[in-house]
Structure 1
Protein backbone atom coordinates (compact mmCIF):
# COMPACT_ATOMS: atom_id res chain seq x y z
CA UNK A 1 0.00 0.00 0.00
CA UNK A 2 1.18 3.52 -0.74
CA UNK A 3 2.13 5.78 2.15
CA UNK A 4 2.44 9.56 2.27
CA UNK A 5 6.16 10.43 2.25
CA UNK A 6 6.56 14.18 1.76
CA UNK A 7 5.23 17.39 0.19
CA UNK A 8 6.94 19.65 -2.36
CA UNK A 9 6.64 23.44 -2.61
CA UNK A 10 7.93 24.68 -5.96
CA UNK A 11 9.21 28.12 -6.88
CA UNK A 12 10.82 29.85 -9.82
CA UNK A 13 13.89 30.08 -7.57
CA UNK A 14 14.81 28.08 -4.50
CA UNK A 15 15.10 31.27 -2.43
CA UNK A 16 11.51 32.18 -3.29
CA UNK A 17 10.23 28.70 -2.47
CA UNK A 18 12.07 28.64 0.86
CA UNK A 19 10.83 32.13 1.78
CA UNK A 20 7.26 31.06 1.00
CA UNK A 21 7.49 28.02 3.27
CA UNK A 22 9.16 29.91 6.10
CA UNK A 23 6.64 32.75 5.96
CA UNK A 24 3.72 30.31 5.94
CA UNK A 25 4.93 28.00 8.71
CA UNK A 26 7.04 30.37 10.79
CA UNK A 27 9.87 27.82 10.95
CA UNK A 28 13.28 27.94 9.28
CA UNK A 29 14.08 25.35 6.63
CA UNK A 30 17.28 23.31 6.77
CA UNK A 31 19.75 22.48 4.02
CA UNK A 32 19.08 20.08 1.18
CA UNK A 33 21.11 19.45 -1.93
CA UNK A 34 21.16 19.00 -5.71
CA UNK A 35 19.45 16.50 -8.00
CA UNK A 36 21.84 16.21 -10.93
CA UNK A 37 19.54 14.13 -13.14
CA UNK A 38 16.75 16.73 -13.18
CA UNK A 39 18.85 19.85 -12.68
CA UNK A 40 17.08 20.91 -9.50
CA UNK A 41 17.99 21.71 -5.91
CA UNK A 42 16.06 21.78 -2.65
CA UNK A 43 15.90 22.56 1.05
CA UNK A 44 14.07 20.50 3.64
CA UNK A 45 12.15 20.71 6.90
CA UNK A 46 11.27 17.72 9.07
CA UNK A 47 7.63 17.19 9.99
CA UNK A 48 6.15 14.92 12.64
CA UNK A 49 4.97 11.37 11.95
CA UNK A 50 7.82 10.46 9.61
CA UNK A 51 7.05 13.12 7.00
CA UNK A 52 8.99 16.06 5.62
CA UNK A 53 8.52 19.02 3.30
CA UNK A 54 10.84 20.22 0.57
CA UNK A 55 11.19 23.52 -1.24
CA UNK A 56 12.38 22.80 -4.78
CA UNK A 57 13.32 24.76 -7.89
CA UNK A 58 15.35 24.51 -11.08
CA UNK A 59 19.04 24.92 -10.32
CA UNK A 60 20.30 27.86 -12.44
CA UNK A 61 23.76 26.26 -12.50
CA UNK A 62 22.44 23.08 -14.13
CA UNK A 63 22.98 22.29 -17.79
CA UNK A 64 20.14 22.36 -20.30
CA UNK A 65 18.41 18.97 -20.22
CA UNK A 66 17.24 16.96 -23.26
CA UNK A 67 14.16 15.80 -21.33
CA UNK A 68 11.46 17.24 -19.08
CA UNK A 69 12.09 17.83 -15.40
CA UNK A 70 10.03 16.22 -12.66
CA UNK A 71 7.19 18.01 -10.85
CA UNK A 72 6.37 19.92 -14.06
CA UNK A 73 9.04 22.47 -13.11
CA UNK A 74 9.75 23.39 -16.73
CA UNK A 75 6.34 25.08 -16.94
CA UNK A 76 6.32 26.64 -13.49
CA UNK A 77 5.73 30.40 -13.33
CA UNK A 78 4.34 32.83 -10.82
CA UNK A 79 4.36 32.70 -7.06
CA UNK A 80 5.72 29.68 -5.17
CA UNK A 81 3.09 27.10 -4.28
CA UNK A 82 2.46 23.65 -2.90
CA UNK A 83 2.83 21.79 -6.16
CA UNK A 84 3.07 18.08 -5.44
CA UNK A 85 2.63 15.37 -2.88
CA UNK A 86 4.79 12.29 -2.92
CA UNK A 87 3.90 8.77 -1.81
CA UNK A 88 6.35 5.97 -1.18
CA UNK A 89 5.93 2.36 -2.21
CA UNK A 90 7.57 -0.85 -1.07
CA UNK A 91 7.31 -2.20 -4.63
CA UNK A 92 7.20 0.65 -7.12
CA UNK A 93 6.98 -1.50 -10.25
CA UNK A 94 4.04 -3.48 -8.86
CA UNK A 95 2.18 -0.36 -7.77
CA UNK A 96 2.69 1.27 -11.17
CA UNK A 97 1.42 -1.88 -12.89
CA UNK A 98 -1.82 -1.91 -10.90
CA UNK A 99 -2.71 1.72 -11.65
CA UNK A 100 -5.28 2.63 -14.27
CA UNK A 101 -3.42 5.88 -14.99
CA UNK A 102 0.00 6.58 -16.51
CA UNK A 103 2.06 7.76 -13.57
CA UNK A 104 5.44 7.59 -15.30
CA UNK A 105 8.39 5.24 -15.45
CA UNK A 106 10.87 4.64 -12.61
CA UNK A 107 13.97 6.84 -12.75
CA UNK A 108 16.93 6.01 -10.49
CA UNK A 109 18.03 9.10 -8.57
CA UNK A 110 20.63 10.11 -6.00
CA UNK A 111 21.38 13.07 -3.75
CA UNK A 112 24.50 12.62 -1.67
CA UNK A 113 24.15 9.26 0.08
CA UNK A 114 20.43 9.05 -0.65
CA UNK A 115 19.18 6.69 -3.35
CA UNK A 116 15.64 6.24 -4.61
CA UNK A 117 13.52 5.60 -7.66
CA UNK A 118 10.67 7.88 -8.68
CA UNK A 119 8.04 7.44 -11.36
CA UNK A 120 8.28 10.44 -13.68
CA UNK A 121 6.11 10.93 -16.80
CA UNK A 122 8.01 11.88 -19.96
CA UNK A 123 6.00 15.12 -20.07
CA UNK A 124 6.86 15.91 -16.46
CA UNK A 125 3.12 16.29 -15.84
CA UNK A 126 1.45 13.87 -13.42
CA UNK A 127 -2.10 12.60 -14.01
CA UNK A 128 -5.14 14.58 -12.92
CA UNK A 129 -3.48 17.95 -13.63
CA UNK A 130 -0.54 17.15 -11.30
CA UNK A 131 -2.91 16.29 -8.45
CA UNK A 132 -1.94 12.60 -8.61
CA UNK A 133 0.94 11.89 -6.24
CA UNK A 134 4.46 11.27 -7.49
CA UNK A 135 5.32 7.68 -6.59
CA UNK A 136 8.71 6.65 -5.29
CA UNK A 137 10.61 3.87 -3.58
CA UNK A 138 13.52 4.51 -1.23
CA UNK A 139 16.63 2.40 -1.82
CA UNK A 140 18.29 3.30 1.48
CA UNK A 141 17.65 2.13 5.04
CA UNK A 142 17.46 5.65 6.51
CA UNK A 143 15.29 8.24 4.73
CA UNK A 144 15.42 12.07 4.99
CA UNK A 145 12.48 12.14 7.39
CA UNK A 146 14.55 10.13 9.87
CA UNK A 147 17.61 12.36 9.47
CA UNK A 148 15.97 15.77 9.80
CA UNK A 149 15.77 17.60 13.11
CA UNK A 150 12.24 17.98 14.53
CA UNK A 151 10.64 21.29 13.63
CA UNK A 152 7.55 21.16 15.81
CA UNK A 153 5.39 21.15 12.67
CA UNK A 154 2.75 18.46 12.07
CA UNK A 155 0.71 17.92 8.91
CA UNK A 156 -2.93 17.64 9.96
CA UNK A 157 -4.69 17.68 6.59
CA UNK A 158 -3.85 17.55 2.91
CA UNK A 159 -6.73 18.59 0.69
CA UNK A 160 -6.47 17.36 -2.89
CA UNK A 161 -9.02 19.16 -5.07
CA UNK A 162 -9.93 18.05 -8.58
CA UNK A 163 -13.08 17.98 -10.76
CA UNK A 164 -12.76 14.15 -10.84
CA UNK A 165 -12.06 13.78 -7.13
CA UNK A 166 -13.80 10.41 -6.79
CA UNK A 167 -11.86 8.94 -9.72
CA UNK A 168 -8.63 10.37 -8.32
CA UNK A 169 -9.31 8.92 -4.86
CA UNK A 170 -9.96 5.48 -6.32
CA UNK A 171 -6.89 5.65 -8.56
CA UNK A 172 -4.56 6.52 -5.68
CA UNK A 173 -5.96 3.97 -3.25
CA UNK A 174 -4.35 5.63 -0.23
CA UNK A 175 -5.50 4.81 3.29
CA UNK A 176 -4.49 7.99 5.12
CA UNK A 177 -7.03 9.95 7.13
CA UNK A 178 -5.01 13.14 6.69
CA UNK A 179 -5.57 13.15 2.92
CA UNK A 180 -8.98 14.34 1.74
CA UNK A 181 -10.13 14.44 -1.87
CA UNK A 182 -12.63 17.18 -2.70
CA UNK A 183 -14.38 18.22 -5.89
CA UNK A 184 -13.10 21.51 -7.28
CA UNK A 185 -10.50 23.19 -9.45
CA UNK A 186 -7.14 21.33 -9.38
CA UNK A 187 -5.25 22.42 -6.27
CA UNK A 188 -3.42 21.21 -3.18
CA UNK A 189 -3.89 22.74 0.28
CA UNK A 190 -2.08 21.55 3.39
CA UNK A 191 -2.85 22.47 7.01
CA UNK A 192 -0.28 22.20 9.79
CA UNK A 193 -0.06 22.49 13.54
CA UNK A 194 2.99 24.67 14.24
CA UNK A 195 4.57 26.37 17.27
CA UNK A 196 2.67 29.45 16.07
CA UNK A 197 -0.72 27.79 15.72
CA UNK A 198 -2.48 26.44 12.65
CA UNK A 199 -0.81 27.43 9.37
CA UNK A 200 -1.72 26.65 5.75
CA UNK A 201 0.22 26.13 2.52
Structure 2
Protein backbone atom coordinates (compact mmCIF):
# COMPACT_ATOMS: atom_id res chain seq x y z
CA UNK A 1 0.00 0.00 0.00
CA UNK A 2 1.33 3.44 -0.94
CA UNK A 3 1.83 6.26 1.55
CA UNK A 4 -1.07 8.17 -0.06
CA UNK A 5 -3.38 5.16 0.19
CA UNK A 6 -2.40 4.60 3.81
CA UNK A 7 -3.46 8.16 4.67
CA UNK A 8 -6.71 7.99 2.70
CA UNK A 9 -9.94 8.89 4.47
CA UNK A 10 -13.40 9.36 3.00
CA UNK A 11 -16.66 11.03 4.01
CA UNK A 12 -20.11 11.38 2.48
CA UNK A 13 -19.86 13.65 -0.56
CA UNK A 14 -23.29 13.28 -2.12
CA UNK A 15 -26.37 11.10 -2.40
CA UNK A 16 -27.43 9.96 -5.87
CA UNK A 17 -31.07 10.08 -6.95
CA UNK A 18 -31.66 8.51 -10.37
CA UNK A 19 -34.32 10.17 -12.52
CA UNK A 20 -36.12 9.46 -15.78
CA UNK A 21 -35.26 12.98 -16.98
CA UNK A 22 -34.45 16.37 -15.47
CA UNK A 23 -38.02 17.66 -15.77
CA UNK A 24 -39.10 14.80 -13.51
CA UNK A 25 -36.16 15.58 -11.20
CA UNK A 26 -37.05 19.27 -10.85
CA UNK A 27 -40.71 18.57 -10.10
CA UNK A 28 -39.83 15.84 -7.59
CA UNK A 29 -37.30 18.01 -5.73
CA UNK A 30 -39.76 20.85 -5.24
CA UNK A 31 -42.59 18.52 -4.22
CA UNK A 32 -40.39 16.49 -1.85
CA UNK A 33 -38.21 19.14 -0.18
CA UNK A 34 -40.17 22.33 -0.80
CA UNK A 35 -37.24 23.97 -2.62
CA UNK A 36 -36.05 24.16 -6.22
CA UNK A 37 -33.04 22.20 -7.45
CA UNK A 38 -30.08 24.12 -8.84
CA UNK A 39 -28.72 23.58 -12.35
CA UNK A 40 -25.83 21.15 -12.63
CA UNK A 41 -24.34 20.25 -15.99
CA UNK A 42 -23.46 17.55 -18.49
CA UNK A 43 -21.07 14.60 -18.20
CA UNK A 44 -20.06 13.81 -21.81
CA UNK A 45 -17.94 10.80 -20.81
CA UNK A 46 -20.96 9.18 -19.14
CA UNK A 47 -23.82 10.48 -21.28
CA UNK A 48 -25.63 12.04 -18.31
CA UNK A 49 -26.65 15.40 -16.85
CA UNK A 50 -27.85 16.51 -13.43
CA UNK A 51 -29.51 18.92 -11.03
CA UNK A 52 -28.13 19.54 -7.53
CA UNK A 53 -29.42 20.35 -4.04
CA UNK A 54 -27.14 21.74 -1.33
CA UNK A 55 -27.35 20.06 2.10
CA UNK A 56 -25.00 20.19 5.07
CA UNK A 57 -21.49 21.58 4.65
CA UNK A 58 -19.80 19.51 1.98
CA UNK A 59 -22.81 17.26 1.20
CA UNK A 60 -25.39 17.53 -1.57
CA UNK A 61 -28.01 15.56 -3.48
CA UNK A 62 -27.35 14.80 -7.13
CA UNK A 63 -30.44 14.18 -9.28
CA UNK A 64 -29.05 12.49 -12.39
CA UNK A 65 -30.54 11.29 -15.66
CA UNK A 66 -29.43 10.01 -19.04
CA UNK A 67 -28.88 12.97 -21.38
CA UNK A 68 -30.41 12.10 -24.77
CA UNK A 69 -28.38 14.87 -26.44
CA UNK A 70 -25.09 13.10 -25.65
CA UNK A 71 -23.63 10.00 -27.33
CA UNK A 72 -23.95 6.79 -25.35
CA UNK A 73 -20.70 5.88 -23.57
CA UNK A 74 -18.70 2.81 -24.56
CA UNK A 75 -19.49 1.10 -21.24
CA UNK A 76 -22.33 1.24 -18.72
CA UNK A 77 -23.22 4.61 -17.22
CA UNK A 78 -22.47 5.22 -13.56
CA UNK A 79 -24.96 4.55 -10.76
CA UNK A 80 -26.70 1.75 -12.68
CA UNK A 81 -28.58 4.11 -14.97
CA UNK A 82 -28.48 1.47 -17.74
CA UNK A 83 -29.75 -1.29 -15.45
CA UNK A 84 -33.26 -2.30 -16.61
CA UNK A 85 -34.37 -2.65 -12.98
CA UNK A 86 -33.27 0.92 -12.21
CA UNK A 87 -34.90 2.20 -15.41
CA UNK A 88 -38.19 0.57 -14.42
CA UNK A 89 -38.00 1.90 -10.85
CA UNK A 90 -37.51 5.53 -11.94
CA UNK A 91 -40.21 5.53 -14.60
CA UNK A 92 -42.79 6.61 -12.01
CA UNK A 93 -40.60 8.75 -9.73
CA UNK A 94 -36.95 9.46 -8.90
CA UNK A 95 -35.23 6.97 -6.61
CA UNK A 96 -32.29 7.04 -4.19
CA UNK A 97 -29.96 4.45 -5.74
CA UNK A 98 -26.37 5.12 -4.68
CA UNK A 99 -23.97 7.49 -2.94
CA UNK A 100 -20.50 8.90 -3.41
CA UNK A 101 -17.74 9.21 -0.80
CA UNK A 102 -15.20 12.04 -0.98
CA UNK A 103 -11.58 10.91 -0.64
CA UNK A 104 -8.97 13.05 1.06
CA UNK A 105 -6.16 11.97 -1.27
CA UNK A 106 -5.78 11.34 -5.03
CA UNK A 107 -7.23 8.01 -6.12
CA UNK A 108 -5.38 4.92 -7.29
CA UNK A 109 -6.91 2.21 -9.45
CA UNK A 110 -6.79 -1.46 -8.54
CA UNK A 111 -7.93 -4.80 -9.93
CA UNK A 112 -11.59 -3.88 -9.41
CA UNK A 113 -11.67 -0.15 -10.18
CA UNK A 114 -10.30 2.23 -12.79
CA UNK A 115 -9.73 5.92 -12.05
CA UNK A 116 -11.16 8.36 -14.60
CA UNK A 117 -10.74 12.12 -14.78
CA UNK A 118 -13.66 14.51 -15.27
CA UNK A 119 -13.97 18.25 -15.71
CA UNK A 120 -16.95 20.62 -15.83
CA UNK A 121 -16.87 24.39 -15.49
CA UNK A 122 -14.59 25.16 -12.51
CA UNK A 123 -14.77 21.59 -11.19
CA UNK A 124 -12.14 18.90 -11.75
CA UNK A 125 -12.41 15.48 -10.17
CA UNK A 126 -11.40 11.83 -10.24
CA UNK A 127 -13.83 8.94 -9.88
CA UNK A 128 -12.96 5.31 -9.17
CA UNK A 129 -15.37 3.30 -11.33
CA UNK A 130 -15.86 -0.48 -11.37
CA UNK A 131 -14.04 -2.34 -14.15
CA UNK A 132 -17.19 -4.01 -15.46
CA UNK A 133 -19.40 -4.16 -18.51
CA UNK A 134 -22.36 -5.02 -16.29
CA UNK A 135 -24.76 -2.13 -15.60
CA UNK A 136 -25.98 -3.78 -12.40
CA UNK A 137 -22.43 -4.03 -11.01
CA UNK A 138 -22.00 -0.26 -11.32
CA UNK A 139 -24.06 -0.03 -8.12
CA UNK A 140 -21.51 -1.66 -5.82
CA UNK A 141 -23.13 -3.99 -3.26
CA UNK A 142 -26.53 -2.85 -4.45
CA UNK A 143 -25.61 0.81 -4.01
CA UNK A 144 -24.49 0.45 -0.38
CA UNK A 145 -20.78 0.63 -1.19
CA UNK A 146 -20.11 4.08 -2.63
CA UNK A 147 -18.24 5.18 -5.65
CA UNK A 148 -15.27 7.30 -4.55
CA UNK A 149 -14.52 10.81 -5.76
CA UNK A 150 -11.53 13.08 -5.27
CA UNK A 151 -11.96 16.78 -6.04
CA UNK A 152 -8.84 18.11 -7.71
CA UNK A 153 -7.01 21.42 -7.36
CA UNK A 154 -7.99 24.01 -9.97
CA UNK A 155 -5.60 26.10 -12.06
CA UNK A 156 -6.13 28.86 -9.48
CA UNK A 157 -4.77 26.56 -6.77
CA UNK A 158 -8.15 26.04 -5.10
CA UNK A 159 -10.28 22.92 -4.71
CA UNK A 160 -13.78 23.95 -5.85
CA UNK A 161 -16.70 21.88 -4.57
CA UNK A 162 -20.34 22.19 -5.68
CA UNK A 163 -21.56 23.05 -2.17
CA UNK A 164 -19.39 26.18 -2.20
CA UNK A 165 -21.36 27.68 -5.09
CA UNK A 166 -24.81 26.08 -4.80
CA UNK A 167 -27.54 28.24 -3.21
CA UNK A 168 -28.51 27.42 0.37
CA UNK A 169 -31.55 25.14 0.44
CA UNK A 170 -32.26 24.94 4.20
CA UNK A 171 -32.42 21.15 3.74
CA UNK A 172 -30.18 19.14 6.04
CA UNK A 173 -29.24 15.47 6.02
CA UNK A 174 -29.94 14.10 9.48
CA UNK A 175 -29.15 10.40 8.99
CA UNK A 176 -28.02 8.02 6.27
CA UNK A 177 -28.22 4.29 6.94
CA UNK A 178 -26.93 1.31 4.98
CA UNK A 179 -28.41 -2.18 5.22
CA UNK A 180 -26.98 -5.22 3.45
CA UNK A 181 -27.27 -9.01 3.81
CA UNK A 182 -23.47 -9.38 3.54
CA UNK A 183 -22.51 -7.06 6.38
CA UNK A 184 -18.85 -8.19 6.55
CA UNK A 185 -18.37 -7.37 2.85
CA UNK A 186 -19.94 -3.93 3.28
CA UNK A 187 -17.89 -3.10 6.37
CA UNK A 188 -14.72 -4.36 4.68
CA UNK A 189 -15.42 -2.19 1.65
CA UNK A 190 -16.00 0.89 3.79
CA UNK A 191 -12.78 0.24 5.72
CA UNK A 192 -10.87 -0.12 2.46
CA UNK A 193 -11.76 3.43 1.41
CA UNK A 194 -11.12 4.84 4.89
CA UNK A 195 -14.75 5.85 5.41
CA UNK A 196 -15.28 8.05 8.46
CA UNK A 197 -18.88 9.12 9.21
CA UNK A 198 -19.66 12.82 9.47
CA UNK A 199 -20.28 13.59 13.18
CA UNK A 200 -23.33 15.65 12.18
CA UNK A 201 -24.95 12.77 10.25
CA UNK A 202 -25.93 9.48 11.88
CA UNK A 203 -24.62 6.70 9.62
CA UNK A 204 -25.56 3.25 10.92
CA UNK A 205 -24.41 0.18 8.98
CA UNK A 206 -26.87 -2.63 9.61
CA UNK A 207 -27.72 -6.19 8.56
CA UNK A 208 -30.70 -6.57 6.25
CA UNK A 209 -32.40 -9.01 3.92
CA UNK A 210 -31.59 -6.85 0.87
CA UNK A 211 -29.41 -3.82 0.05
CA UNK A 212 -31.24 -0.71 1.27
CA UNK A 213 -30.15 2.93 1.56
CA UNK A 214 -32.24 5.19 3.81
CA UNK A 215 -31.84 8.95 4.24
CA UNK A 216 -33.63 11.26 6.68
CA UNK A 217 -33.76 15.01 6.09
CA UNK A 218 -35.07 18.16 7.73
CA UNK A 219 -36.54 20.36 4.99
CA UNK A 220 -38.75 23.44 4.56
CA UNK A 221 -41.54 21.00 3.64
CA UNK A 222 -41.00 19.11 6.93
CA UNK A 223 -39.22 15.81 7.69
CA UNK A 224 -38.37 13.83 4.54
CA UNK A 225 -37.48 10.14 4.27
CA UNK A 226 -35.99 8.48 1.20
CA UNK A 227 -35.48 4.73 0.88
CA UNK A 228 -33.92 2.96 -2.07
CA UNK A 229 -36.10 0.52 -4.02
CA UNK A 230 -35.65 -3.24 -3.79
CA UNK A 231 -33.83 -4.00 -7.05
TM-score (norm 2): 0.78
TM-aligned CA deviation for residue 189 of structure 1:
1.3
Q: For residues 156 and 44 of structure 1, what CA distance do their matches in structure 2 show?
A: 18
1:175 paired with 2:196, answer yes
TM-aligned CA deviation for residue 92 of structure 1:
4.0
1:187 paired with 2:212, answer yes
The one of 158, 161, 185 equivalent to 1:143 is 161
The one of 114, 125, 140 equivalent to 1:116 is 125
**SS of alignment partner, residue 82 of structure 1:** strand
2:5 paired residue number: none
TM-aligned CA deviation for residue 18 of structure 1:
3.1
TM-aligned CA deviation for residue 129 of structure 1:
2.0
Structure 2: which 5+ runs fail to align?
Answer: 1-8, 154-158, 227-231
CA contact (8 A) 2:215 2:225 kept: yes
TM-score (norm 1): 0.89
1:134 paired residue number: 147
Point out 4+ residue stretches in structure 1 off by more than 3 angstroms: none
The one of 8, 21, 29 equivalent to 2:37 is 29
* Larger Rg belongs to: 2
Q: In the superposition, relative to structure 1, how do residues 66 and 144 fare at CA in structure 2: closer, same or farther (>3 Å)? A: same
The one of 87, 91, 99 equivalent to 1:85 is 99
CA contact (8 A) 1:48 1:150 kept: no
1:6 paired residue number: 14
CA contact (8 A) 2:107 2:128 kept: no
CA contact (8 A) 1:164 1:183 kept: yes
CA RMSD for the aligned pairs?
1.9
The one of 33, 49, 54 equivalent to 1:46 is 54
CA contact (8 A) 1:68 1:122 kept: no
The one of 20, 23, 45 equivalent to 1:15 is 23
The one of 66, 77, 82 equivalent to 1:74 is 82
CA contact (8 A) 2:99 2:143 kept: no
Deviations 1:74-99 (A, max 9, x none): 113122201111111122435x66xx
2:223 paired residue number: 198
CA contact (8 A) 1:24 1:200 kept: no
TM-aligned CA deviation for residue 158 of structure 1:
0.7
TM-aligned CA deviation for residue 72 of structure 1:
1.3
